[in-house]
Amino acid sequence: MKTIKLTKENLKKAIRETVLALKAGEVLEVPTDTVSGLICDYYNKSAEKEIFRLKKRPEEKILPIFISSISEVKKLVPVNRRQEKFMEKVWPGKVTCVLKKDVGGFRIPGDKFILKLLQKFGGPLLQTSANISGELPAGGAPSTVVDITGEDLKILREGAVSGEELQRIWDLI
């Protein structure tokens, strides 16, 4: 695993190095708008296996996905109008949305580095917190995970955004 130090002065260089490392199949530890995270190319199965190994994560726990836009989500799973309106209200931000069973939740993070990285990389990234599975993550509060596959909003994990706030948004759509 590779760690690239990020400063205001080296943002462009760090993005360039990170894109090259991801395209080479590496797993990287990166800062996010929530907690320190691990990322890899969504389509690279050996890198995905490496994340599971590093985290000691059970393979039945699906990895979440960073994406750069709602249109990118639509390339991977069907999205209905209500789901789309909800995502427009909460993204970019600290909310991970499950749109289809057996597919990881999606999130457009509110972090400048990750957003620029997603744009330059040109595709989705598998992501998860950098801690060992079952231990507390380093950094702030994790994203709030919501299931919006049905008529009702289900809070799967309370995190940086309150479930009450998300329920209000869902109810208004």
pLDDT in tens, the chain (173 residues): 555 677 778 889 999 999 999 999 999 999 899 999 999 999 999 999 999 999 999 999 999 999 999 999 999 999 999 999 999 999 999 999 999 999 999 999 999 999 999 999 999 999 999 999 999 998 889 999 999 999 999 999 999 999 999 999 999 99
Write 82-85 long-range contacts (CB < 8 A, 24+): 82/148, 82/173, 83/148, 85/173
Residue ranges making up the domain that contains 56: 2-172
Using a 10 angstrom Cβ sphere, with 0-12 exposed, 13-18 middle and 19 or more buried, the burial of residue 58 is exposed
Q: Cα–Cα distance between 121 and 127 in angstroms, integer?
A: 14
> pTM of this prediction?
0.94
CATH number of the domain bearing residue 8: 3.90.870.10
Looking at residue 160, its pLDDT comes to: 97
Looking at residue 73, its pLDDT comes to: 98
Looking at residue 3, its pLDDT comes to: 59
Token pair 């639509």: residue: 74
Q: Cα–Cα distance between 171 and 133 in angstroms, integer?
A: 33
Query: Domain count of the chain?
Result: 1
Contacts of 72 (CB under 8 A, 6+ apart): 123, 124
Q: Cα–Cα distance between 153 and 19 in angstroms, integer?
A: 35
Token pair 């400063």: residue: 7
Looking at residue 62, its pLDDT comes to: 96
Using a 10 angstrom Cβ sphere, with 0-12 exposed, 13-18 middle and 19 or more buried, the burial of residue 168 is exposed
